[in-house]
């Protein structure tokens, strides 16, 4: 075994498989006339051999490859415009307001949303505060910083998967495959390009690194990594609490498995668990207490437990439908490759218990949450009814890769054993595994290419939207605005460009006015527009204008426009650019 002071040895993220990292001794010079003497000089060949056996070099090469693949997949995000996504306006606004606060123009209360919104105690602050702090540096572009952090988190999820796979004892090649499969997994790509779950994408690599540090502390015997793991999980909570909660669901199973395994003294397990837990609590307690108080005071409750409700049969049908790629829908696509890895990995982990077994249990739990309240009645119980079940497919992606890659590695030998050949060729198991890898990776690349083209196109302000912004920027057109059909982009664009307040915002969960706002929102969602009631509610919310854009049909802009046109005594049409129409609330006489 190499000593700590030597150049070749176990890196902190390695599983310490010394047979993999030891360098071979120099070989004698080949005989004259052989092919080797013609192609590469022996000293050069030995140097290459030593470099390729250097764990730092190989790790760096693998991580660079993962980063390049991720950047190629998400390259369209670098084009001019805003990053796409349903929730992207929320995080752009929060990031911008954080920058304003740091530059002295903001504060603890955001005056642009809900008539007064407390963002820092309402939503986990790490992700958008990071963007706001970096963008506050003079000369640094706000949108550029946002895209950079988003891309770093997206690629970082693959890198964190690699680290965790190494800690679980996988070879570098298989760990790299797990990382690539994670980066190309449709649930991760759709989270970036369609849902716009910026905070979840930032929290995901932090949660994975927390588990990697925990494994390092327990199996590697270095107790300080338990503290690092707890801090990483705490940072994940501060980026997105639901994401951290999802991965924390696996910790009881991990503890029980280690407790029953007897591979390490239980006293060490207790110390690791205690330090990990204390570090997590110490990292988040300062924010969780005011957040919990605000949440209790708001009393938010979803109309549908888990946000989405659907038959279980529809779930298992949707996960194999490639035509869902790029569509705003849930349940959504997974692909046969990920499905096969999930099933094979879970079955293998249960039949042959290993360090992957707790992660197989976690995967089963995540799947149960992703089934929605019809498939999992526990989601009807508070506080579980407040989760967004669609996010659990995102959380499943790296876990599927972690439990599925070892299944691929052993599948070749298993298939050959099933053939019952007396003397199978030595190359056959590797060839079978290689074929399976090619099939799974091939589908991942194909799906990733399609998803990249459909999901990562930037959002750009249209001519009609710009005309509406110019109109609202005029002195005589002051007042709060309710946007319909903008897909929440009005909640960012009006404050960002004009410092104009909107009637609502896009985080109802933490606002005290959510019940009033929610009635208006449901009118958009179901297309049942009660104009007199909308008039009354806008008055309560101090709204002056309704702007209708034909951008997102899910908010019923055509129906809403037609309904307002039928009540000119309540709403007068004051501007129309075809795609965007503005109505003003008529004051009561």
Q: Quick one: 348 and 367 in the same domain?
A: yes
The three-class DSSP label of residue 580 is strand
User: Is residue 320, in this structure, part of any structural domain at all?
Assistant: yes
What are 187's two structure tokens?
A: 């649930």
User: 423 versus 217: which is more confidently predicted?
Assistant: 217
**According to the model, what pLDDT value does residue 263 have?**
76
**According to the model, what pLDDT value does residue 581 have?**
98
- Residue 455 in this model has a pLDDT that exceeds 70: yes
Burial class (CB in 10 A: 0-12, 13-18, 19+), 80: exposed
pLDDT digits (tens, 9 = 90+) for 45-63: 665 666 667 778 888 998 9
- Residue 28 in this model has a pLDDT that exceeds 50: no
Give the rounded percent of residues in the chain with a pLDDT score beyond 70: 91
Q: Quick one: 467 and 497 in the same domain?
A: yes
Q: Quick one: 473 and 402 in the same domain?
A: no
pLDDT digits (tens, 9 = 90+) for 218-258: 998 788 999 999 999 999 999 999 999 999 999 999 999 99
- Residue 416 in this model has a pLDDT that exceeds 90: no
Of the three residues 406, 436, 455, the one that is the final residue of a domain is: 455
- Residue 77 in this model has a pLDDT that exceeds 90: yes
Given a contact cutoff of 8 angstroms between Cβ atoms, the answer to whether 175 and 166 are in contact is yes
User: Is residue 445, in this structure, part of any structural domain at all?
Assistant: yes
- Average pLDDT of the segment spanning 427-449: 91
The three-class DSSP label of residue 536 is helix
Distances (CA, A) of 10 to 3, 54, 355: 9, 10, 19
Given a contact cutoff of 8 angstroms between Cβ atoms, the answer to whether 501 and 93 are in contact is no
Cβ count near 103 (within 10 Å): 12
- Residue 26 in this model has a pLDDT that exceeds 60: no
Cβ count near 65 (within 10 Å): 15
Distances (CA, A) of 495 to 61, 113, 151, 193, 520: 44, 9, 25, 23, 20
Q: Quick one: 418 and 545 in the same domain?
A: no
List, as own/partner pairs, every contact residues 307-310 make where C-beta atoms lie below 8 angstroms and the sequence separation is at least 24, other chains included: 307/387, 307/388, 307/389, 307/390, 308/372, 308/388, 308/389, 308/390, 309/372, 309/373, 309/374, 310/372, 310/374
Cβ count near 256 (within 10 Å): 12
Of 4-8, 142-146, 234-238, 347-351, the poorest mean pLDDT is in 4-8
Q: How confident is the model at residue 513 (pLDDT cuts 50, 70, 90)?
A: confident
User: 471 versus 19: which is more confidently predicted?
Assistant: 471
User: Is residue 496, in this structure, part of any structural domain at all?
Assistant: yes
- Residue 6 in this model has a pLDDT that exceeds 50: no
Q: How many CA atoms lie within 13 A of 136 on its CB side?
A: 18
Cα distance between residue 279 and residue 224, in whole Å: 11
For 478-542, strand residue ranges (E) read 480-484
Given a contact cutoff of 8 angstroms between Cβ atoms, the answer to whether 131 and 125 are in contact is no
- Residue 261 in this model has a pLDDT that exceeds 90: no
Of the three residues 430, 455, 480, the one that is the final residue of a domain is: 455
- Residue 177 in this model has a pLDDT that exceeds 70: yes
Furthest-apart CA pair in the chain: how many Å? 105
Of 40-44, 150-154, 169-173, 474-478, the poorest mean pLDDT is in 40-44
- Average pLDDT of the segment spanning 266-287: 96
User: Is residue 118, in this structure, part of any structural domain at all?
Assistant: no
Angle CA 128–130–133, to nearest 5:
105
Q: How confident is the model at residue 36 (pLDDT cuts 50, 70, 90)?
A: very low
Q: Quick one: 78 and 179 in the same domain?
A: yes
pLDDT digits (tens, 9 = 90+) for 314-324: 999 999 999 99
Q: How confident is the model at residue 5 (pLDDT cuts 50, 70, 90)?
A: very low
- Average pLDDT of the segment spanning 394-414: 93
Given a contact cutoff of 8 angstroms between Cβ atoms, the answer to whether 191 and 197 are in contact is yes
Q: How confident is the model at residue 122 (pLDDT cuts 50, 70, 90)?
A: very high
Q: What is the pTM of this model?
A: 0.89
Of 34-48, 233-247, 356-370, 427-441, the poorest mean pLDDT is in 34-48
Distances (CA, A) of 410 to 11, 124, 211, 340: 25, 41, 24, 14
Query: In the chain, how many domains are there?
Result: 2
Q: Quick one: 413 and 530 in the same domain?
A: no
Q: Quick one: 487 and 353 in the same domain?
A: no
Of 80-94, 98-112, 215-229, 427-441, the poorest mean pLDDT is in 427-441
Q: Quick one: 295 and 426 in the same domain?
A: yes
- Average pLDDT of the segment spanning 138-144: 93
pLDDT digits (tens, 9 = 90+) for 524-556: 999 999 999 999 999 999 999 999 999 999 999
User: Is residue 88, in this structure, part of any structural domain at all?
Assistant: no
**According to the model, what pLDDT value does residue 507 have?**
92
Of 29-33, 85-89, 275-279, 572-576, the poorest mean pLDDT is in 29-33
Cα distance between residue 534 and residue 547, in whole Å: 13
φ/ψ of 583, rounded to 5, equals -120, 145
Q: How many CA atoms lie within 13 A of 15 on its CB side?
A: 16
- Average pLDDT of the segment spanning 201-207: 98
Of 56-65, 117-126, 364-373, the poorest mean pLDDT is in 56-65
- Residue 18 in this model has a pLDDT that exceeds 60: no
**According to the model, what pLDDT value does residue 17 have?**
43
Of the three residues 435, 455, 475, the one that is the final residue of a domain is: 455
Q: Which domain holds residue 66?
A: 61-83+141-455
Strands 480-484 and 543-549: parallel
User: Is residue 133, in this structure, part of any structural domain at all?
Assistant: no
Cα distance between residue 570 and residue 587, in whole Å: 8
User: Is residue 38, in this structure, part of any structural domain at all?
Assistant: no
Q: How confident is the model at residue 400 (pLDDT cuts 50, 70, 90)?
A: very high
Q: Quick one: 238 and 368 in the same domain?
A: yes
Q: What is the mean pLDDT of the chain?
A: 90
Q: Quick one: 395 and 501 in the same domain?
A: no
**According to the model, what pLDDT value does residue 289 have?**
96
User: Is residue 335, in this structure, part of any structural domain at all?
Assistant: yes
- Residue 29 in this model has a pLDDT that exceeds 80: no
Q: Quick one: 433 and 469 in the same domain?
A: no
Q: Quick one: 418 and 509 in the same domain?
A: no
């Amino acid at each position: 075994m190499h000593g700590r002071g030597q150049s070749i040895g176990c890196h902190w993220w390695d599983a310490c498989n010394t047979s993999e990292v030891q360098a071979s001794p120099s070989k004698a010079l080949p005989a004259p006339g052989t092919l080797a003497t013609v192609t590469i000089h022996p000293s050069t060949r030995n140097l290459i051999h030593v470099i390729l056996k250097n764990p730092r070099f190989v790790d760096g090469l693998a991580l660079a490859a993962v980063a390049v693949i991720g950047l190629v997949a998400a390259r369209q995000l670098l084009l001019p415009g805003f990053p796409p996504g349903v929730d992207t306006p929320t995080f752009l606004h929060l990031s911008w307001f954080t920058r304003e606060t740091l530059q002295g123009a903001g504060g603890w209360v955001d005056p642009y949303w809900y008539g007064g919104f407390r963002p820092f105690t309402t939503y986990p602050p790490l992700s958008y505060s990071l963007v706001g702090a970096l963008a506050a540096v003079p000369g640094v572009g706000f949108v550029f910083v946002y895209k950079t952090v988003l891309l770093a988190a997206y690629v970082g999820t693959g890198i964190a998967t690699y680290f965790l796979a190494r800690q679980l004892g996988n070879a570098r090649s298989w760990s790299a495959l797990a990382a690539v499969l994670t980066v190309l997994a449709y649930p991760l790509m759709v989270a970036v390009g369609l849902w716009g779950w910026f905070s979840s994408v930032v929290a995901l690599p932090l949660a994975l690194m927390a588990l990697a540090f925990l494994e390092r502390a327990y199996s590697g015997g270095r107790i300080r990594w338990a503290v690092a793991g707890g801090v990483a999980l705490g940072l994940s909570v501060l980026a997105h609490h639901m994401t951290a909660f999802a991965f924390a669901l696996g910790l009881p199973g991990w503890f029980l498995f280690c407790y029953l395994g007897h591979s390490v003294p239980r006293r060490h397990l207790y110390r690791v668990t205690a330090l990990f837990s204390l570090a997590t609590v110490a990292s988040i307690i300062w924010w969780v207490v005011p957040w919990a108080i605000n949440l209790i005071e708001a009393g938010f409750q979803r109309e549908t437990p888990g946000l989405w409700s659907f038959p279980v049969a529809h779930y298992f049908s949707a996960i194999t439908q490639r035509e869902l790629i790029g569509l705003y829908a849930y349940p959504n696509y997974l692909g046969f490759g990920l499905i096969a890895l999930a099933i094979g990995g879970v079955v293998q982990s249960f039949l042959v218990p290993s360090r992957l077994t707790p992660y197989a249990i976690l995967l089963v739990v995540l799947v149960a949450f992703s089934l929605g309240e019809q498939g999992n009645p526990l989601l009807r119980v508070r506080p579980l009814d407040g989760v967004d079940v669609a996010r659990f497919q995102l959380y499943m992606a790296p876990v599927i890769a972690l439990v599925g890659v070892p299944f691929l590695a052993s599948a070749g030998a298993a298939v050959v054993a099933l053939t019952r050949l007396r003397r199978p060729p030595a190359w056959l198991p590797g060839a079978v595994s290689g074929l399976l890898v090619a099939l799974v990776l091939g589908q991942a690349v194909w799906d990733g290419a399609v998803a990249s083209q459909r999901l990562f196109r930037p959002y750009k302000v249209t001519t009609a939207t710009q005309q509406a912004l110019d109109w609202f920027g005029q002195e005589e057109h002051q007042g709060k605005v309710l946007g319909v059909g903008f897909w929440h982009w009005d909640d960012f664009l009006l404050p960002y460009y004009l410092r104009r307040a909107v009637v609502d915002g896009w985080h109802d969960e933490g606002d005290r006015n959510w019940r009033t706002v929610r009635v208006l929102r449901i009118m958009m969602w179901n297309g049942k527009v009660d104009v007199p009631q909308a008039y009354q509610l806008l008055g309560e919310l101090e709204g002056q204008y309704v702007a209708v854009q034909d951008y997102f049909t899910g908010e019923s802009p055509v129906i809403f426009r037609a309904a307002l046109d039928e009540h000119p005594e309540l709403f007068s049409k004051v501007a129309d650019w075809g795609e965007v129409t503005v109505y003003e609330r008529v004051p009561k006489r």
